[in-house]
Structure 1
Amino acid sequence: MREMGGDQVTAAVAGCVAALGAAVDRNWTEVTAGGLDWNCHQTAVHVADDLVAYAANLAGRARDAYVPFELTLDDGTDNSGLLHVIETTGALLAATVRTTSRQVRAFHPYPFRSADRAGFAAMGVAEVLLHTHDMAQGLGLPYRPAEELAESVLAYLFPHVQPGPAPWETLLWATGRGGLPGRAPVTGWRWNNNLVIPAERLDLVGIRPAEARDLRLGGDGGFEWIEGGPYEGTRDAAGFLLKAYEGGVHRPEFGVFALVRRDDGLAVGGIGFHSAPDEEGRVEIGYDLTEAARGHGYATEALRALADWALARDDVRSVFATTEPANAPSQAVLSRAGFTRVSAAGEGPAFELRAG
């Protein structure tokens, strides 16, 4: 799998500089950037400021807020100099992404208050693509980024948006910048970084559509797996996630999670929801572990963490799971996690944990 990373940041910035370089002799302070309230000069500064802020947060391992500084240009900086600043801040973000471990997360407010290196790269690419579009529109310049960049931004940051046949037009629509046949106009939007739920020894790391696609096709999804992983159940679950994404009904917080061991960064299994809560507030979950990871209590630990997270929500009142009749180890995991056997539903025993 080609993870969203430094190369994509570099490509997005190069496209920005190439497009806007044709208008460096214009007065950017007098031209409004597309549908924004900012002029093109303000928008370009904003792009550079975001790129360096993302690099700083990731490099500085920011926890609760942005690193407290702001980009300021020297007096008299012309448009060529401003584009050089965008190139430089883009290079800083690209280098930071390339040299940061996949496990590292740092502060970003949307929507779960953290992002990993791929998330910061995707946000940087999104800022560059969208605001280059805004500035090019204001300046009357042609601009269309590579479709693969737009597609990656959607698959990393917009898991709740049904992908369309043209990724760039879909991204513009999803951010309120254009129309899309058959879809209502977007008047408010946020992107979504993936959710991570901490457990005692594990992190439950939300799998994004781009990663699910790779898992379904036989790849590693961007994770480093323990020997024998990922197990078949995780690949199947990734396929269901991908189908929900392509159908426009995926809710990322009720998706699939890789179980990543915190001490060495290795993924040992998967866990996730079959769907969002039903009308009665019930969610069904499934899980698996690679054979080499079994017998260490990881499944029980992950199940407790996911169930606790779900039952703390207002829209979940019970968590439900079924097992094969002969799968005594899985039934024992559910019992240890506090679930109660409620029936022999379908082909196997059913277990439930209700909100207190």
Structure 2
Amino acid sequence: MGGDFGGDQVAEAVEGSVALLRTAAGRDWDGVRAGRLEWSCRRTAEHISSDLIAYAGQLAGRATTAYVPFEIVMDDGTDNTGVVDVIETTGALFAAVVRTTPREVRAFHPYPFRSANREGFAAMGIAEVLLHAHDIAEGLQLTYEPPAALCEGVLTRIFPHVRPGPSPWRTLLWATGRGELPGRAPVTEWRWSNNLVIESERLTLQGVTPAAAADLRAGGTGGFEWIEGGPFEGTRDAAGMVLKAYEGGVHRPEWGVFVLVRRKDGRALGGMGFHGAPDEEGRAEVGYDLAENARGHGYATEALRALAAWALARDDVKLLLAAVDRSNTPSQGVISRAGFTRVSEDVEQYAYELHGMDRSLQLYAREA
């Protein structure tokens, strides 16, 4: 689930789809509809190459506000074999761009948070290749099933809201309206979801995907470059909460965990996030920790201010809560400087009795 996901996986997806399409290049693609799509098999194949070169252009051009305004057009007289050659070529170009793009680079993609990093673009490109190869195969009555690891890599990076199913490929097909899963309603509308990034002056708060959460929980880096001493155990525990929510099908990615990354060197310093989505009364709880070597520089305060501002600007959030150990004076300073205040004794008592809050903790709140 975790680990590197990039150019090699793009190349693998393209290689598999190209091998399949070459077996049917001599058939009529224009007159055959691609699976459940309105497009023909030919148009769908051309669309694969258009997506691959467009994604390569976004990353290579560091586009931040819109798509780079260009498109790929086949020469007149290009046959199906030529179209497959173009898919292979644009796939190689995209894989090369993904491999050479620094981790911290983000480029424009409209949904849902207006940007994606190289891993997100790789996942989107692979999804386009796998799913449209499936569409063409269905139209031409070919057998096609890509490697499970590629499908799982896509699901755990850009479908964090989709509960895992009996097999990654069947789950990906169901999640994109191309198949059925026992006990689940058919999907008629869908979107993938790249991770949310919230910016502050010195930091970026980068949303942790289920893939990164699994790696962190297993003792890995989550794909981040950490300062010495990181990640702190609290971040790994929080990643475990993300993973549990994902596996239960209740994960809402914008209400998960964020890794705090220092802008000047791309180093991860700690974790911060929510204990879950807001309740019916608009209350959400936040938590945070930093690697010991990152403490004392105001990073936690800066990050918490940014996270709180983002949350309280939403219509579904009225109150943010944070529980801090009574003996943790530095953390009490962070929470206070971020605009939180101690709640009244009766509210604190309510938290103890109804929610089982440990009496060694003090409750702080910040209102919209």
Which bracket does the TM-score occupy, shorter chain normalised?
over 0.9
Give the match's secondary structure for 1:270: strand
What residue number does 1:295 align with?
296
The answer as to 2:273 corresponding to 1:272 is yes
* Conserved? CA contact 1:151–1:167, under 8 Å: yes
What residue number does 2:363 align with?
350
Instruction: Structure 2: give runs of 5+ residues left out of the alignment.
Output: 352-356
Matches within 5 A, 1:264-343: 264-342=265-343, 343=345
What residue number does 1:25 align with?
26
* Conserved? CA contact 2:155–2:172, under 8 Å: yes
What residue number does 2:193 align with?
192
Output the CA distance in 1 between the equivalents of 2:280 and 2:28: 56
Give the match's secondary structure for 1:71: coil
Give the match's secondary structure for 1:267: strand
Output the CA distance in 2 between the equivalents of 1:334 and 1:66: 40
What residue number does 1:103 align with?
104
Output the CA distance in 1 between the equivalents of 2:71 and 2:138: 27
What residue number does 2:167 align with?
166
Q: CA deviation at 1:325?
A: 1.2
The answer as to 2:163 corresponding to 1:150 is no
Q: Provide Cα deviations, 1:108-143, integer angstroms capped at 9, x if missing partner.
A: 011001000000000000000000000000011110
The aligned amino acid for 1:337 is: A
Output the CA distance in 2 between the equivalents of 1:110 and 1:335: 35
Output the CA distance in 2 between the equivalents of 1:186 and 1:116: 27
Q: CA deviation at 1:14?
A: 0.6
Output the CA distance in 2 between the equivalents of 1:336 and 1:142: 60
Q: CA deviation at 1:157?
A: 0.6
* Conserved? CA contact 1:20–1:141, under 8 Å: no
Q: CA deviation at 1:2?
A: 2.4
Matches within 5 A, 1:1-356: 1-342=2-343, 343=345, 344=348, 345=351, 346=357, 347=359, 348-355=361-368
Output the CA distance in 2 between the equivalents of 1:263 and 1:307: 23
What residue number does 2:354 align with?
none
Output the CA distance in 1 between the equivalents of 2:240 and 2:117: 23
The aligned amino acid for 1:318 is: L
* Conserved? CA contact 1:47–1:127, under 8 Å: yes
Q: CA deviation at 1:152?
A: 0.6
Q: CA deviation at 1:311?
A: 0.2
The aligned amino acid for 2:202 is: R
Does 343-352 or 179-188 show the bigger shift? 343-352
Q: CA deviation at 1:165?
A: 2.1
Q: CA deviation at 1:349?
A: 0.7
Q: Provide Cα deviations, 1:49-107, integer angstroms capped at 9, x if missing partner.
A: 00000000001011111100011000011111111100111111100010011100000
Output the CA distance in 1 between the equivalents of 2:133 and 2:25: 14
* Conserved? CA contact 2:35–2:138, under 8 Å: yes
Which TM-score applies when normalising by structure 1? 0.99
Output the CA distance in 1 between the equivalents of 2:275 and 2:3: 27
Moved over 3 A (4+): 343-346
Percentage identity across paired residues of the two chains: 68
Q: CA deviation at 1:23?
A: 0.7
Output the CA distance in 2 between the equivalents of 1:313 and 1:112: 14
Output the CA distance in 2 between the equivalents of 1:215 and 1:230: 8
Q: CA deviation at 1:221?
A: 0.3
- State the number of aligned residues: 355
Output the CA distance in 2 between the equivalents of 1:164 and 1:152: 14
Give the match's secondary structure for 1:33: coil
* Conserved? CA contact 2:275–2:287, under 8 Å: yes
Does 238-247 or 18-27 show the bigger shift? 18-27
* Conserved? CA contact 1:283–1:316, under 8 Å: yes
* Conserved? CA contact 2:3–2:222, under 8 Å: no
The aligned amino acid for 1:31 is: V
* Conserved? CA contact 2:51–2:128, under 8 Å: yes
Output the CA distance in 1 between the equivalents of 2:145 and 2:272: 39
Give the match's secondary structure for 1:80: helix
Q: Provide Cα deviations, 1:195-227, integer angstroms capped at 9, x if missing partner.
A: 000011000000000000000000000000000
CA RMSD of aligned residues (A): 0.7
Q: CA deviation at 1:3?
A: 1.9
The aligned amino acid for 1:350 is: L
